[in-house]
A and B are shown apart, each in its own frame.
Chain A
Amino acid sequence: MLQDGVATAPRFRIFIIDSGWNSAAHKILQENFGLIRDLQKEDPIYVLSREQSIEFIRHHQERIGREPIIAVHDLAAMSESGTTDFHGFRLHLGLLRTPQQALLALQNFTRFLSTHRQSVDLEAEIRSDLRREGLAGAIEIILHHEAREIGE
């Protein structure tokens, strides 16, 4: 893939697993997928069909009700240590009950993907930026409306 005339190798493989619950999260993903795809041109997106998603969830029943799930495999981490340690991250969009929460989470996730493609310590940045760990994260949860909204 070329960006500004320079080849950019994919950093991530993005998987979307959605068995089709009639939920706010499902609708928000459907409505915004085109934009997400346009913003993530550097990395391939794999969308499991409804049947593939259902079959997948049948094998991982603890994830029932958490779909849509967006799983991101970090190809850099996997080439170093396989799957025995940190090798990616995921979003359980189905845990968010309102359209506003789902959209905020999707936007946060997409922004994180775009701004951390060159990260050398992705796990640490996930913990601070997405999961709001640490003292700074606690302050963000209280003061920053996005973290407050998603965490409700």
Chain B
Amino acid sequence: MPERWSDYVAILMSALALGYLVYEIDRRRRKLHDVFDVLDADDANITARLEDMVASGELQPYAGATLA
């Protein structure tokens, strides 16, 4: 058991620092998940729509060097 108040403070500060680290990693990871994500069954409709546009000729491989 800690013998001095300073030991308790040190333990508390360490716990807070660790908690903040965990929070910050989680926050940044959630941002990365929002930015980059996999396409799965939830995105099937979107994927199908894009593939239909290709199959119908509505979309062609882009031949330009820059975006208009």
> A residues bordering B, Cβ < 8 Å?
13, 15-16, 18, 29-30, 33-34, 37, 44-49, 52, 56, 59-60, 71-73, 78, 83-93, 95-96, 105, 109, 123, 126-127, 130-133, 137-138, 141-142, 147-148, 150-152
Contact = CB atoms under 8 A, between A and B. Distances in A.
25 contacts: A13-B50, A15-B59, A44-B62, A45-B62, A46-B50, A46-B53, A46-B59, A47-B62, A59-B49, A60-B46, A73-B39, A73-B50, A83-B41, A83-B43, A86-B40, A87-B39, A87-B40, A89-B36, A91-B35, A92-B36, A95-B34, A131-B36, A141-B25, A147-B28, A152-B28
Which secondary structure characterizes the binding site on chain B? helix
Contacts of A60: 45-46
A71 B46 contact: yes
Contact of A15 (B27, B50, B60): B50
Which secondary structure characterizes the binding site on chain A? mixed
Interface residues of B, number: 38
Interface in B41-57: 41, 43-51, 53-54
